[in-house]
């Protein structure tokens, strides 16, 4: 991935893709003092760009550092890197981290870096996989408590749990993992939030120890606009047995149906299909929500 043509916005300048490099003694690499975003551009418009920039800055703040660019500057940098790439539909990856001046757990004075890459990424899951729904394994790693880690942050360190879980799921022939939280409640997939439908009502876990995804918030809005009841509540794994539809939401995953969790099977139903279509209309500007400016 590092060896390709293109450009990356790096600390205020556009640099050739292959030259966007950092030192091995980078604090962010050793101690995970690193936060990032994942977002999409559709028809030349970055979806909820300001919300992603705000979350990036907030994630850094939760890790005790300040990104030396304002929300407006981050937004402009994102537009610039897409412009240079000629990208109107794709994925953006802003990442901010502590640099390499000092090596050790404490590195308060290390420079804070920001880089933004973008590339074409039609769908997180292949179209075939998406229509069939994806298969999840129940992870043995759990989302930690909010007093164990800054769980509101989109922090690189928290993704160790996700990579472990997803790799194990893939080794067992599944596409992703479903993680429970420290209490045993259903939490989320490794890069997306989870929804289930039961008796025509939509249920989704309360995001009190994992990301309250921007897509999750958008999809709740879209569902309520359709007149569906959306309940945010804690529930255990066994409740998923009686669900009629399950789907995931995320900037990369968009709205993706789930066909299997452990030994339980599901089929994408009307609610999932409706929300997939509404989400597509919204991100492509065919639908406007007052709350999602």
DSSP letter string, 90-114 = EEEEEEEEE-SSS-SS--TTSPEEE
Which region among 93-101, 168-176, 247-255, 276-284 touches ligand PMP (by CB under 6 A)? 247-255
Which of 176, 188, 245, 254 touches ligand PMP by CB under 6 A? Answer: 188
Question: Taking CB under 6 A as the rule, does residue 213 contact ligand PMP?
Answer: yes
Residue 176 Ramachandran class (φ > 0 left, ψ -120 to 50 alpha, else beta): beta
Least Å distance between CB 38 and ligand PMP? 5
Closer of 7 and 130 to ligand PMP (Cβ): 130
The neighbour count for residue 157, using CB atoms within 10 Å, is 16
Spatial separation of the C-alpha atoms in residues 12 and 51, rounded to whole Å: 21
Residue least distant from ligand PMP (Cβ): 213
Spatial separation of the C-alpha atoms in residues 97 and 110, rounded to whole Å: 9
Q: Are 195 and 222 in contact (CB under 8 A)?
A: no
- Of residues 190 through 209, those in contact with ligand PMP by CB under 6 A are 191-193
Q: Are 27 and 110 in contact (CB under 8 A)?
A: yes
Spatial separation of the C-alpha atoms in residues 134 and 140, rounded to whole Å: 19
Distance of CA 2 to the CA centre of its chain: 21
Spatial separation of the C-alpha atoms in residues 270 and 219, rounded to whole Å: 15
Q: Which of 111, 154, 166, 198 is an active site residue?
A: 154
Least Å distance between CB 193 and ligand PMP? 5
Burial (CB count within 10 angstroms: exposed 0-12, middle 13-18, buried 19+), residue 14 = middle
Question: Taking CB under 6 A as the rule, does residue 216 contact ligand PMP?
Answer: yes
Q: Are 112 and 68 in contact (CB under 8 A)?
A: yes
The neighbour count for residue 121, using CB atoms within 10 Å, is 15
Closer of 15 and 235 to ligand PMP (Cβ): 235
Closer of 26 and 215 to ligand PMP (Cβ): 215
Which of 214, 222, 240, 282 touches ligand PMP by CB under 6 A? Answer: 214
Q: Are 15 and 128 in contact (CB under 8 A)?
A: no
Closer of 27 and 48 to ligand PMP (Cβ): 48
Binding mask 6-25 for ligand PMP (x = CB under 6 A): --------------------
Question: Taking CB under 6 A as the rule, does residue 215 contact ligand PMP?
Answer: yes
Closer of 110 and 193 to ligand PMP (Cβ): 193
Which of 28, 99, 205, 250 touches ligand PMP by CB under 6 A? Answer: 250
Query: What is the token pair recorded at 24?
Result: 């091995």
- Of residues 130 through 169, those in contact with ligand PMP by CB under 6 A are 154, 162
Question: Taking CB under 6 A as the rule, does residue 38 contact ligand PMP?
Answer: yes
**β-strands 245-250, 230-232: how paired?**
unpaired
Residue 78 is a catalytic residue: no
Question: Taking CB under 6 A as the rule, does residue 77 contact ligand PMP?
Answer: no
Question: Taking CB under 6 A as the rule, does residue 251 contact ligand PMP?
Answer: yes
Catalytic residues: 154
**Which residues contribute to the site for ligand PMP (CB under 6 A)?**
38, 154, 162, 188, 191-193, 210-211, 213-216, 249-251
């Amino acid at each position: 991935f590092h060896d390709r043509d293109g450009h990356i916005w790096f600390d205020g300048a556009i640099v050739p893709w292959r030259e966007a490099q950092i030192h091995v003694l980078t604090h962010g690499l050793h101690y995970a003092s690193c936060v990032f975003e994942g977002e999409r551009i559709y028809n030349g418009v970055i979806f909820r760009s300001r919300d992603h920039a705000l979350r990036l800055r907030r994630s850094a703040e939760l890790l005790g550092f300040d990104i030396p660019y304002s929300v407006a500057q981050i937004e402009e940098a994102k537009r610039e890197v897409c412009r240079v790439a000629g990208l109107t539909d794709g994925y953006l990856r802003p990442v901010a981290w502590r640099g390499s001046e000092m090596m050790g757990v404490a590195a308060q004075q290390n420079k804070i870096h920001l880089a933004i890459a973008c590339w074409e990424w039609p769908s997180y899951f292949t179209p075939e996989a998406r229509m069939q729904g994806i298969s999840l394994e129940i992870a043995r790693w759990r989302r930690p408590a909010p007093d164990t880690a800054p769980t509101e942050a989109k922090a690189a360190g928290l993704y160790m749990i996700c990579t472990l879980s997803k790799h194990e799921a893939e080794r067992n022939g599944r596409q992703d993992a479903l993680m429970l939280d420290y209490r045993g409640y259903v939490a989320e997939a490794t890069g997306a939030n989870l929804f289930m439908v039961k008796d025509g009502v939509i249920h989704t876990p309360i995001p009190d120890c994992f990301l309250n995804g921007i897509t999750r918030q958008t999809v709740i809005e879209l569902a309520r606009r359709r007149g569906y009841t959306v309940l945010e509540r804690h529930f255990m794994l066994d409740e998923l047995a009686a669900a009629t539809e399950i789907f995931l939401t995320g900037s990369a995953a968009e709205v993706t149906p789930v066909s299997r969790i452990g030994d339980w099977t599901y089929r994408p139903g009307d609610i999932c299909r409706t929300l997939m279509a509404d989400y597509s209309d919204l991100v492509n500007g065919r639908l406007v929500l007052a709350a999602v400016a």
